[in-house]
A and B are shown apart, each in its own frame.
Chain A
Amino acid sequence: MSKRTPVKRTEQDDEEHPSEHTGDGEHPSDRGDSGSPTDEQPSDPGVETGAESVVAGLENAGVEYMFGVTGGAIMPVYDALYEHEQITHITMAHEQGAAHAADAYGIVSGRPGVCMATSGPGATNLVTGIADANMDSDPLVALTGQVPRDFVGNDAFQETDTIGVTKPVTKYNIFSDDETTVGDDIGTAWALANEGRQGPTLVDLPKDVTQAETDSQPAEPSTPDSYDPPTAAEDVMVAAAAETLAAAERPLVLAGGGVIKGEATEELKTVAREHEIPVVTTMPGTGAFPQTDPLSQGIAGMHGTGYANLAISNCDVMLAVGTRFDDRLTGDIATFAPDAEIIHIDIDPAEISKNVEADYPLVGDAGVVMKQLLRAMPGTPPAETWREQCQAWQEEYPLDYEAPEDEPLKPEYIVESFDEVTPDDTIVAAGVGQHQMWAWQYWTFTEPRTWVTSHGLGTMGYAVPAAVGAKLAAPDREVVAFDGDGSFLMTAQELTVAAREDLDITIVVLNNEAVGMVRQWQDGFYGGRHMASEYSWAPQFDKVAEAFGAKGLRAETYEGLDATIQEARGYDGPAVIDAVIDPTENVYPMVPSGGDNARFALNADQLEGL
């Protein structure tokens, strides 16, 4: 295979593209209002067109990377990027990959990732990634080209009602129909994606707007005046919640993704450690609390640990922070923490009592409210017995597996092997399915922003583009992506990007020649009829990797596995291990959809009995 060098932007004809233009009176300005940029110190490079205003808006926001695919209607913006060295554009193979890469960039960096695509199919291909970000409250800004304003509504070539299509899956979107404010719209979209409850925003950019002449310098990114996310919770409610929590005999912290999004992991540790409260995390909350801490009670939900789910079912006061009580977490609502008074901290009032009633709604920023709570705590919960019980459950329901030398590879073993040799701050990306659950269960997460996957939307194919975005957000950290064979086939083409950009990432395909999670459900609930879940033929993924410009490796036996792992890690560029795993391995524990968390199944027989 050939190792590629990253493509460098050519600068040979910069002379022909003057970037010193200040916009002073050289173009007729149709702006009659005062405060035109001519009164101000012109910034460099100046703005001449709507597209340059877009780029200036991105620069104002401090955007370093964009992920995109070019095309007709977005060409003016791409052209404007030509001269702007501050922003590095990563050309993806497919727009879905661009959205996932930007999403992962946002998860790891904490700042909105930016993706860009043309109108029509470019925009619709972004939709999956936007919807994914919307479910997981990931900060993401999408820019889409649009046909010129005069053509909108006429079913023009590559026209789609992008605003209409993405309205239900964005926090905010806007059809930017004025070249003098188009740069401001970028700033608004960026700020809204970033502030309050984070989420995806979209700016639709008609081609004639981005092509139009304007010298309008965009304002700094800011949210609309009417947007005012809460910070501190009501003191009276905080005091009442603190009193209840301090009196709890079986207290539990449920840490959701909001703890990480809200940069509140230190406050969470203080609450838990000062008051000796066991901590369970949701899947997006994984990494919010170190799993090595004695108070860590594991991960909860459908494939969460038994001891976490039992703690949820039996607690008497739950401090839930930044979680939306997704059905994969709660199982049957009737049996979700049914004895618990719930203290719910969330920045989004609409999450309060949406799925589970909050006895103490604390609306505000996770970190701020936890500090309020800490100040208000009249004492520490008398929970010695409860902590012993939690510990006993950990011993009763360990995650465990056997890995006989003469049998096919166990996926759990591969995950653990990687975990052992990689640094603590390694970023773990995953697609969706069984491999994702094994990675989640068997990796020991100790830091926030190290677990990068698709939670709410469950988007197969997330891992490869996510690894690309994650690596660019954290170039000094190791990135390992676990993928399934089904997931990998959906976005494997993004390997070309990793090769082109020379990204040092390792992708492990846990290959069981099936859409394994579906097959597991078929075994459990559909009488073992494996409809459309098994592949009668699939490519050899190490060879696919080589063809895409990555290093391809195979792992089929325990012998040599460690060496293969080290070879992949040591390779300076993207490496893919096609790991042939035991196809009969399934994911347990499992709470059937809509089941009782406390009645998680530990094997197939128990699953049938539920």
Chain B
Amino acid sequence: MSRGELPGPAPEDRMQPEGRRNSQGIRIDPETEAEHPPERAVLSALVTHEPGVLAEISGLFSRRQFNIESLTVGPTVDDSLARMTIVIEEPRPGVDQAKKQLEKRIPVISVRELDTDAVQRELVIVKVNGDHPDQVNAITDMYNGQTLDAGPRTVTVELTGNQQKIDDAIDAYRQFGIRELVRTGYAALARGEAPTAQVSQPNQAPTDAQVATEEISDD
């Protein structure tokens, strides 16, 4: 028999609260109990453009078990900064937590969750068998794609668009036999005047100067 036992009423004789919390730590009101289903969220993060940042961010998502759909990264008009576009699928508390964990890392300057109407594009490069080049071209035209390389045995095309369009195009190419394909994952910017993640005043619209800079470098 083990020692160290203590006096006092047993568990069943104690005052017991009636409430409960769900697995997300939210108090459950039986009337309005809300389960948060996973939702797709597009996060844009402005980060310092230096070695190791991609590893830091991907490591963060992996070790905190955020369900990541795609992650893209590239430089911005400011050489010292890079922009990451991260698509995750998480219940709302998970999305919020992911944003806060991102913001917390020192190389991350600013994070913003984009609205569903944000401009989102993905690039796919598909290499199919070249037995029916005309038919391949027809499909490529239909999806506003471009042929990058055509040889006696293969045709390689590129397409951009949203996920649905790319999924459809890939389905259409299947008839020729897809040898290889590569998708980039999403790149996204907020639509219109709405800001994406920015250096200063991350929640404000960009200044005229910033807009001008973007336009000049756009060509």
A-contact 0/1 string along B1-25, CB 8 Å cutoff: 1111111111100111111111111
Bin the interface of chain B by size: 35 or more
CB-CB under 8 A from A586, the residues of chain B are 2-4
Q: Counting CB contacts under 8 A, is A610 at the interface? A: yes
CB-CB under 8 A from B5, the residues of chain A are 588, 602-604
With A314-B15, A333-B21 in contact, is A602–B8 under 8 Å at CB? yes
Cα–Cα distance between A397 and B106 once the two chains are bound (Å): 46
> Which residue from B17, B59, B100, B103 sits with its C-beta under 8 Å from A168?
B59
Q: Counting CB contacts under 8 A, is B55 at the interface? A: yes
Contact A357 B27 (CB under 8 A): yes
Q: How far is the CB of A209 from chain B (nearest CB, A)?
A: 15
Within 8 A of B (CB), among A411-425: none
Contact B2 A523 (CB under 8 A): yes
Q: How far is the CB of B15 from chain A (nearest CB, A)?
A: 6
CB-CB under 8 A from B101, the residues of chain A are 350
With A333-B25, A353-B96 in contact, is A602–B6 under 8 Å at CB? yes
- With both beta carbons as reference points, the residue of chain A lying nearest to B109 in the complex is identified as A226
Q: Counting CB contacts under 8 A, is B132 at the interface? A: no
Q: Counting CB contacts under 8 A, is B177 at the interface? A: no
Q: Counting CB contacts under 8 A, is A585 at the interface? A: yes
Contact A589 B6 (CB under 8 A): yes
Contact B20 A338 (CB under 8 A): yes
Contact A353 B25 (CB under 8 A): yes
CB-CB under 8 A from B26, the residues of chain A are 357
Cα–Cα distance between A502 and B120 once the two chains are bound (Å): 66
Contact A584 B2 (CB under 8 A): yes
- With both beta carbons as reference points, the residue of chain A lying nearest to B18 in the complex is identified as A339
Contact A588 B27 (CB under 8 A): no
A-B contact pairs, 5 of them (CB 8 A): A168-B59, A175-B51, A339-B19, A350-B104, A356-B21
Contact A598 B11 (CB under 8 A): yes
Contact B100 A352 (CB under 8 A): yes
> Which residue from B9, B18, B56 sits with its C-beta under 8 Å from A396?
B9
- With both beta carbons as reference points, the residue of chain B lying nearest to A410 in the complex is identified as B3
> Which residue from B4, B14, B19 sits with its C-beta under 8 Å from A588?
B4
Closest 7 CB pairs of A and B: A603-B5, A338-B19, A350-B100, A356-B25, A599-B11, A397-B8, A586-B4
Q: Counting CB contacts under 8 A, is B97 at the interface? A: yes
Within 8 A of B (CB), among A220-275: 224, 226-227
Cα–Cα distance between A349 and B101 once the two chains are bound (Å): 9
Cα–Cα distance between A333 and B21 once the two chains are bound (Å): 6
Q: How far is the CB of A274 from chain B (nearest CB, A)?
A: 27
CB-CB under 8 A from B51, the residues of chain A are 175
- With both beta carbons as reference points, the residue of chain A lying nearest to B93 in the complex is identified as A353
Contact A306 B16 (CB under 8 A): no
6 more contacts with CB within 8 A, not counting A310-B15, A586-B2, are: A168-B60, A336-B21, A582-B3, A584-B3, A588-B5, A598-B17
> Which residue from B16, B63, B97 sits with its C-beta under 8 Å from A353?
B97
Q: Counting CB contacts under 8 A, is A335 at the interface? A: yes
- With both beta carbons as reference points, the residue of chain A lying nearest to B1 in the complex is identified as A604
Within 8 A of A (CB), among B8-53: 8-11, 14-27, 48, 51-52
CB-CB under 8 A from B23, the residues of chain A are 333-334
Cα–Cα distance between A337 and B96 once the two chains are bound (Å): 23
**Most-contacted residue by chain A among B22, B26, B27, B59 (CB, 10 A):** B27
CB-CB under 8 A from B55, the residues of chain A are 164, 167
CB-CB under 8 A from B22, the residues of chain A are 334
Cα–Cα distance between A337 and B20 once the two chains are bound (Å): 8
With A338-B21, A598-B15 in contact, is A354–B6 under 8 Å at CB? no
Contact A397 B6 (CB under 8 A): yes
A-contact 0/1 string along B56-72, CB 8 Å cutoff: 10011001000000000
CB-CB under 8 A from B16, the residues of chain A are 313, 598
Q: How far is the CB of A415 from chain B (nearest CB, A)?
A: 13
**Most-contacted residue by chain B among A175, A335, A350, A588 (CB, 10 A):** A350
Contact B106 A224 (CB under 8 A): yes
**B interface with A by C-beta (< 8 Å):** 1-11, 14-27, 48, 51-52, 55-56, 59-60, 63, 93, 96-97, 100-101, 103-104, 106, 109
Cα–Cα distance between A400 and B60 once the two chains are bound (Å): 45
Q: Counting CB contacts under 8 A, is A587 at the interface? A: yes
Contact B8 A396 (CB under 8 A): yes
Cα–Cα distance between A22 and B191 once the two chains are bound (Å): 57
Q: How far is the CB of A114 from chain B (nearest CB, A)?
A: 19
Q: Counting CB contacts under 8 A, is A540 at the interface? A: no
CB-CB under 8 A from A167, the residues of chain B are 52, 55-56, 59
Contact B63 A168 (CB under 8 A): yes
Q: Counting CB contacts under 8 A, is A399 at the interface? A: yes
Cα–Cα distance between A379 and B18 once the two chains are bound (Å): 28
Cα–Cα distance between A200 and B6 once the two chains are bound (Å): 39
CB-CB under 8 A from A599, the residues of chain B are 11, 14
Contact A587 B4 (CB under 8 A): yes
Contact B109 A338 (CB under 8 A): no
Q: Counting CB contacts under 8 A, is A609 at the interface? A: yes
Contact A334 B3 (CB under 8 A): no
Cα–Cα distance between A336 and B20 once the two chains are bound (Å): 8
- With both beta carbons as reference points, the residue of chain B lying nearest to A171 in the complex is identified as B106
Q: How far is the CB of B96 from chain A (nearest CB, A)?
A: 7
With A167-B56, A349-B103, A357-B24 in contact, is A602–B10 under 8 Å at CB? yes
CB-CB under 8 A from A348, the residues of chain B are 104
Within 8 A of B (CB), among A356-413: 356-357, 389, 396-401
Contact B15 A401 (CB under 8 A): no
Q: How far is the CB of B195 from chain A (nearest CB, A)?
A: 17
Cα–Cα distance between A267 and B25 once the two chains are bound (Å): 28
- With both beta carbons as reference points, the residue of chain A lying nearest to B24 in the complex is identified as A357
Within 8 A of B (CB), among A257-316: 306, 310, 313-314
Contact B63 A355 (CB under 8 A): no
Contact B14 A598 (CB under 8 A): yes
Q: How far is the CB of A202 from chain B (nearest CB, A)?
A: 12
Within 8 A of B (CB), among A552-610: 582, 584-589, 598-604, 606, 609-610
Q: Counting CB contacts under 8 A, is A450 at the interface? A: no
Q: How far is the CB of B7 from chain A (nearest CB, A)?
A: 6
CB-CB under 8 A from B103, the residues of chain A are 349-350
